[in-house]
Amino acid sequence: MKTVFKRTPTIKDYPTHYCPGCGHGIAHRLIAEAIDELNIRHRTIGIAPVGCAVLAYNYFDVDMVEVAHGRAPAVATGMKRTNPDKIIFSYQGDGDLAAIGTAEIIHAAHRAEKITVIFINNAVFGMTGGQMAPTTVLGQVTATTPQGRTAASEGYPLQISELLAILPGAIYVERRALSSPGQVHKAKKAIKHAFELQVNSAPGLSLVELLSPCPTYWRMTPAEAMDWIEKEMTKVFPLGCLKDVSRDL
Amino acid sequence: MCGNEALAEAAIIAGCDAYFGYPITPQNEIPAYMSRRMPEEGRVFVQSESELAAINMVFGASATGKRAMTSSSSPGISLMQEGMSYLAGAELPAVVVNVMRGGPGLGNISPSQGDYFQATRGGGHGDYHTIVFGPSSVQELVDCMPLAFDLADQYRMTAVVLADGILGQMMEPIRLPSGPPRRFDGEKKPRRKPPPKDWALTGAKDRPQNIVRSLWLGEGVLEKLNYKLKAKYEQVEKSEVLCEQYKVDDADIVVVAYGIAARIVRGAVQKAREGGIKIGWIRPITLWPFPTEQISKAANEFRLFLTVELSNGQMLEDVKLAVAGKAPVLFYGRPGGGVPTVDEILDKIRQLSIPQKRPATKRRIKKQ
């Protein structure tokens, strides 16, 4: 029989702990493909966040560390500064990167750390039970916004990628979605580009934000969740390249 | 060189690959010195955006097998406790220097020993310990840096150097470790050779993936890790206690003090001896592991114990635990940045009524 599709080597053969319809599996696969295509598996170190993806080392077959909530960019700084030849990436959710770790990501970008950040935005805290995240959209019902998020009470969704893109040290910032095969292809291209910049020692931080479905805490079917990303989330978090310094080089 | 600069140079000699820190008084000479010297040596210096970030940068560098350190003072060390707990859980080596100042809160910038509890009880969440040094001179500050790095690597633990504002700022003639590096205790023993770091994250080339983690969700798995840590801590307690004693054998009074307090006590005890008082001192050099055995042994003869600290009495608890009711343990301390003079302590010593004999009614504690 002819094999038409198989695991990419950097993804381990391990039963998934993610919920049905979750976007993490897709994101993991795309990162692993990028690592394999760039042939950097043997010199890549990954950083797992606190959140649903804390167990990412069960899936990625690279050296990995698990760190305190939000501190991945600081840990990445310590790793990259002492190991400039290694490829360092952090994998962080919206609670991790846009709430408790806001200072760390802003300052890692501000210092132009030569690291790659994959930022998973699913508009909720997943692991703790679907509470409001900084990226929760207005009107969205979560465990801690039972009446829906209101600007008056909880403020506005935080567009942290836009904030980061204005910093000179952030050399590449792109937002993509995992909502359809076409979007997944574009996401893959962005992820690979982000890693490529680091491989080429480009002078700063590269970040790809991925709008990712959480059907469990959105109280939707997986198909409805994909739909909601395209119809609702992209209104607040428009897709596209926010910044790419390498284009101007 | 002031104490802060001296310890920084000693860290470089000890093989520190990376320094991460955030400014706070009274330890600002350390990052300033490192910002100049580390690049000269081709090593890493980063001024972080916070102490939270600094300790996590140490975590990152250490996870890749590099020797990393940070330094701060009391309020900053509080912020580092999260990272220090993760370092303990992930069994990563690290060196943390705390040049203590007065607290609680923002406190002041005067010398203090108010962080003894925090340092010797782990400090952050969870069941763990760090190795804690309490040097009492700039020379000791210098000498303990190589040992701190070596022990941190050997046991995969954090080693804390607990200094204070006086030690950090004080200038004294020192001998930097050179040639065959000196051991902390002044012996010319060669430095230890910690085991290879086969656990480090160096890229999974020609070997299976390495994972550095502190999350263990499986039933009983974390309990097992904690037993493993306990066994390691017991080994440290057995092998790594450092302490100095002076004229304890014939003493009616034994003063227990560490760090800069011990320095002041030394002068007071000297004067008291000259005045005919039979007095000696015990000076813990490692605060964890604590010289429990040495103090317990001294308490087998009935005598007064006086603990002197720049706090309201923190090490006092460890002294009481070591004495275990065998003798009275008294306390003299100055908290909040207050520093006692030699005469102040001497007055306190003179006020003590010296017991002639163990009261006959007291039962001897049977040996187990």
Best residue in A35, A62, A66, A80 to probe B by mutation, most B CBs within 10 Å? Answer: A66
The verdict on a CB contact (< 8 Å) between B17 and A64 is no
Region B14-32 average pLDDT: 97
Q: What is the mean pLDDT of residues A187-205?
A: 98
The alpha carbon of residue A195 is apart from the nearest alpha carbon of chain B, in Å, by 16
From B63's Cα to the closest Cα of chain A, the distance in A is 8
Instruction: Please choose, from the candidates A5, A200, A214, the residue with its C-alpha nearest in 3D space to the C-alpha of residue A114.
Output: A200
B215 interfacial to chain A (CB closer than 8 Å): yes
Which backbone phi and psi does B111 adopt, to 5 degrees?
-65, 150
pLDDT at position B180 is: 45
Percent of chain B at pLDDT > 90 equals: 89
Domains of chain B (ranges; CATH) run 3-239 (3.40.50.970), 244-351 (3.40.50.920)
Q: What is the pLDDT of residues A45-64, one digit of tens each?
A: 999 999 999 999 999 999 99
Q: Is the pLDDT of residue B353 over 80?
A: no
Q: Quick one: pLDDT band at residue B366, thresholds 50, 70, 90? A: low
Domains of chain A and CATH, by start:
24-248 (3.40.50.970)
Instruction: Write out the two tokens for B74.
Output: 């009391």
- Partners of B53 on chain A (C-beta within 8 Å) are 71, 74, 77, 103-104, 107
Q: How many CB pairs under 8 A join A and B?
A: 130
Å between B265 CA and nearest CA of chain A: 41
Q: Which residue, B246, B68, B101, is CA-closest to B167?
A: B101
**Phi and psi dihedrals of B309, rounded to 5?**
-140, 160
Task: Report yes or no: A209 and A175 within 8 Å, Cβ to Cβ.
Answer: yes
Sheet of B68-72, strand order = B44-47, B18-21, B68-72, B94-100, B158-164, B131-133, B286-288
Would you call the peptide bond into A181 cis, given omega within 30 degrees of 0 as the criterion?
Answer: no
Residues A104 and B53: beta-carbon distance below 8 Å = yes
Rounded average pLDDT over A69-75: 98
Quote the pLDDT of residue B304.
96
- Split at pLDDT 50, 70, 90, the class of B185 is low
d(CA B141, CA B172): 11
Q: Which runs of consecutive H residues, i.e. helices, occur in chain B? A: 3-13, 29-40, 51-63, 74-89, 116-120, 138-155, 165-169, 221-239, 259-274, 292-298, 315-323, 342-351
pLDDT at B362 exceeding the cut of 60: no
* pLDDT given at position B182: 47
Q: What is the mean pLDDT of residues B35-59?
A: 98
Per the CB < 8 Å rule, is B212 touching A111?
A: no
Phi and psi, residue A117, nearest 5°: -120, 125
Out of A61, A71, A79, the one facing B61 most closely (by C-beta) is: A79
Contact state of A74 with B63 under an 8 Å Cβ cutoff: no
State how far the Cα of B140 lies from the Cα of B68, in Å rounded to an integer. Answer: 20
* pLDDT (tens digit per residue) in B159-180: 999 999 999 999 999 988 764 4
A77, A83, A110: residue with CB nearest B46: A77
Please list every residue in chain A whose beta carbon sits closer than 8 Å to the beta carbon of residue B61: 78-79, 81-82
Predicted confidence at residue B184, as pLDDT, reads 52
Instruction: Write the residue in A62, A83, A106 that is nearest to B204 by C-beta.
Output: A62
Tell me B2's DSSP state.
B
Among B113, B117, B101, residue whose Cα is nearest residue B169: B101
E strand map for chain A? 44-48, 63-66, 87-93, 116-121, 124-125, 131-132, 170-177, 205-211, 240-244
* Mean pLDDT value across residues A29-46: 98
> pLDDT value at position B302?
86
Identify the pLDDT of residue B179. Answer: 47
Q: What is the pLDDT of residue A22?
A: 97
Nearest to B60 among A74, A106, A111 (CB): A74
Residue B297 has what pLDDT?
A: 97
Q: What are the distances in angstroms from CA B279 to CA A245, B251, B256, B329?
A: 72, 4, 11, 14
Residue B154: pLDDT band (50, 70, 90) is: very high
Over 90: is that where the pLDDT of A232 sits?
yes
B181 — pLDDT class (breaks 50, 70, 90):
very low
* pTM of the model as a whole: 0.95
Q: How confident is the model at residue B21 (pLDDT cuts 50, 70, 90)?
A: very high
Q: How far is B201 from chain A (nearest CA, A)?
A: 6
pLDDT tens per residue across span B272-296:
999 999 999 999 999 999 999 999 9
Residue from B84, B198, B211 whose CB has the most chain A CBs within 10 Å, to mutate = B211
What was the pLDDT predicted at A37?
98
Query: What pLDDT is recorded for position B191?
Result: 75
Pairing relationship of beta strands B68-72 and B131-133 according to DSSP bridges: unpaired
Q: Is the pLDDT of residue B82 over 70?
A: yes
Is A75–B204 a contact, with Cβ atoms under 8 angstroms apart? no
* Secondary structure in 3-state letters for B52-121: HHHHHHHHHHHHCCCCEEEEECHHHHHHHHHHHHHHHHCCCCEEEEEEEECCCCCCCCCECCCCHHHHHC
Digit-coded pLDDT (tens) for A138-148: 999 999 999 99
CA separation (Å) from B91 to A156, B59, B157, B197? 40, 10, 6, 12
